[in-house]
Amino acid sequence: MAKQKTIYCCSACGNETPNWAGKCPACGAWNTLEEVKLGADSRRKSTSSFKAVRNGGPIKRISELDTSAEIRFVTGISEFDRVLGGGAVVGSLNLVGGAPGIGKSTLLLQMCGSLGTGKTVLYVTGEESERQLKLRAMRLGVDGGDTYVLAETDMDNIIAAIDEVSPDIVIIDSIQTVSDGEVSSAPGSLSQIKECTMRIMRVTKEKGLTVFVVGHINKEGSIAGPKVLEHMVDCVLYFEGERSTSFRILRAAKNRFGSTNEIGVFEMVDKGLRCVENPSEVFLSGRPEDSPGTCVSCIVEGTRPILAEVQALVAPAAYNAARRCNGIDYNRAAMLLAVLEKRGGLPVSNCDAYINVIGGLSLDEPAADLATVLAVASSFLDRPLGTDLAAFGEVGLSGEIRSVSALNQRLGEIARLGFKRCVIPAHVRDEVKRFEGLELIAVKNIGEAMAAVLGKKRESR
């Protein structure tokens, strides 16, 4: 019997090395190398002993390829279709990841009930029994007349079921529970996930199926398994949000058939996930009136402008300064606090600063810098900004306010929701449209911004 070869694969970057080490030599991550056993390939021969014979299809020029084969179909869930780029693509392999209990299986099961007639679905469950899946479908009100259920974890049996049923859509929940008998390792290991995903991808392309694969995430928040898994699939979707809150955000980390900037907003209710068509109103609901430390900014996710409320709490520090952020990058917040002290004249370095974004949103673009600075200044001075004020703009290290993209789109959303004042960069005031009932406050730096909305002038230092 041929001896097995052992290598070590990094779960963060997919790099392979013959020897174990505490630190990955490629990406520098610690404790990410995992053992992978490879079976000896007795069919491997030297390339000099024979001439390779190709049995595939004809080789074509790129100008001869047919582009009309990309066919989309709507899933019946508007926010899901938005993130996918207008609907699911026939012949695509999609990976849906998220924390346990976030709503991955709920979303896919609701999709089975919302699909139009003529679509056959094979739901392969490796974590639940058939009875458990039926009870969950009854709770969600999903009929699923053309949905077949298979409780199986063996890859050979799953492919045989696909050949027997000939479905249009296949759902595998989850990839960590599926195993291949030819691979001598436990389900969920690196080699099992890679081999099973490769076989699923081969069946997807050959038969023209639409496959949704559920993947667990690790403690760092990425898909559990090798990083190469994300490169093998066509679309990677992440479910974001806290289990203690009702809102969920579906974000595309990779999409070969659409934009990766779109997000879908859902609300978890007793009947499953409900699409939030107007997330700005939902995220601003329950906002306190005339309370210091809160400011609204407008971010753009794909083609959709969304208003987000940034809250800040600044209090004297008893010991070392604690800057705790939720929804905004910690390093970005530390930089804004430093700019506020140096250029705005507020001694916030001796205070505890807590910054939070309501609704579970993650503010990645710099358009929320100005709103964050104004919220911190409002809390420090204990002066409310007013519920009719919004602000957006990037803050530089010298305290200047810089422009951002989609100015008119942001202002239109702000005016639509009834805001009366908006702080914008001064050098773009002649480029933006004027909206009825919305006063534009043009400022050059954070000192002018605080003087305009808080009555605080910069102290000479």
Determine the pLDDT at residue 231: 83
Better pLDDT: 380 or 327: 380
- Number of other residues whose CB lies within 10 A of the CB of residue 117: 6
**Which residues have CB under 8 Å from 117's CB, separation 6+?**
146
DSSP notation for 45-101: --TTSS-----S-----GGG---TT--EE--S-HHHHHHHTSSEETT-EEEEEE-TT
- E-strand stretches of 256-293: 263-269, 272-275
What does the longest C-alpha to C-alpha distance in the chain come to?
Answer: 84
Residue at token pair 């609701």: 110
Q: What is the mean pLDDT of residues 251-278?
A: 89
Mean pLDDT of the chain: 86
Count the neighbouring beta carbons within 10 Å of the beta carbon of residue 210: 25
Structural contact between residues 375 and 311, judged by C-beta atoms closer than 8 angstroms: yes
Nearest CA among 361, 433, 436, 373 for reference residue 401:
373
Q: Answer whether residue 266 shows pLDDT above 90.
A: yes
Where does the pLDDT of residue 81 fall: very low under 50, low under 70, confident under 90, or very high at 90 and above? very high
CB 101 within 8 A of CB 242: no
pLDDT in the model for residue 273: 93
* pLDDT tens digits along 108-129: 999 999 987 788 999 999 989 9
Q: Is the peptide bond before 166 cis (omega within 30 degrees of 0)?
A: no
Q: What is the pLDDT of residue 42?
A: 38
Contacts of residue 333, Cβ cutoff 8 Å, sequence gap at least 6:
323, 325, 353, 355, 372
